[in-house]
Amino acid sequence: MKTKSILLIGLGRFGKSVALKLNELNQEVMAIDKNEARVNDVLPLVTDAQIGDATNEDFLRSLGVDNYDLCFVAIGDDFQSSLEVTSLLKDLGAKKVISRASREVHRKFLLRNGADDVVYPEKQMANWMVIRYAVDHVLDYIALDSEYAVYDITVPDEWDGKTVGALDIRRKYSLNLLAVRENGRTNMAITGDTVLQAGQTVLMLGTWKDIQECFKI
């Protein structure tokens, strides 16, 4: 994996989680927050860190933001500051800016003011929890965009002993069967002759509407 240089601004719970994951991926991270305790807390996880107000243009310029491959604005408790920092980063030549939002209206403003992409940690987690725990048979899912996701679903009893070809899932429901999982093993070599069995789970790519229709959810 290519190492990237990343500027991470905002070290609350979300920002610290981002720093932890970037550390696991061996990325070079400069972390910024105006709270000294937060900065000290992430020091073991990042390449470097500074205490400072990222809404201050002179301070932000001093960081050389145009030298970073990616700038992460992880400020979650002050939307005005998040918006200002996002805009300043673009004005100073940042190559790519990813900003955090908690509401749809925030996303729109961030995109209009320089963000290349916007993430919704709370909304995404809420969606995952509802589908994971409130919907029978769905064990997990990974959203790919606003419409499509990969779902890990238990094989229905009526599919037991039937082949993928006989079920004709793709033609009937516009779903793609990516893999079959059993006893911790994943089989991606799926053909029309692959036999499905109760106790297995399948990884399905498609829309939630098609998943609901296919699995009668």
Cα 151 from Cα 65, distance rounded (Å) = 38
Contact, 177 vs 169, CB < 8 A? yes
Contacts of 115 (CB under 8 A, 6+ apart): 73, 86, 97, 98, 99
The amino acid sitting at 199 is G
Tokens 């002759």 found at:
193
Q: Which two tokens stand for residue 93?
A: 């030549």
Domains in the chain: ranges and CATH: 5-119 (3.40.50.720), 124-215 (3.30.70.1450)
From 158, 127, 128, 152, select the one nearest 139 (Cα to Cα): 152
Higher pLDDT, 142 or 191: 191
pLDDT digits (tens, 9 = 90+) for 144-188: 777 888 889 999 899 999 999 999 999 998 999 999 998 888 999
Q: Does the pLDDT of residue 45 top 80, yes or no?
A: yes
Give the count of alpha carbons within 13 A of 28, CB side only. Answer: 7
Whole-number average pLDDT of the chain: 88
Q: Is 132 a residue whose pLDDT tops 70?
A: no
Residue 193: count other Cβ atoms within 10 Å of its Cβ: 9
Please say if the pLDDT value at position 25 is more than 60. yes
Contact 42, 49 (CB under 8 A): yes
Side-chain half-sphere of 171: how many Cα atoms within 13 Å? 6
Write out the two tokens for 32. 């910024």
Strands 148-154 vs 201-207: parallel, antiparallel or unpaired: antiparallel
Select the more confidently predicted residue: 132 or 84.
84
Please compute the mean of the pLDDT values over residues 35-62 and round it to a whole number: 95
Sorting pLDDT into bands at 50, 70 and 90, what band is 123?
low
pLDDT of 134 over the 60 cut: no
Per-residue model confidence as pLDDT tens digits over 3-12: 889 999 999 8
The arithmetic mean of pLDDT across residues 102-123, rounded, is 84
Quote the pLDDT of residue 140.
81
- Tell me, what's the pLDDT at 52? 96
Sheet with strand 185-187: strands edge to edge: 138-143, 148-154, 201-207, 176-182, 185-187
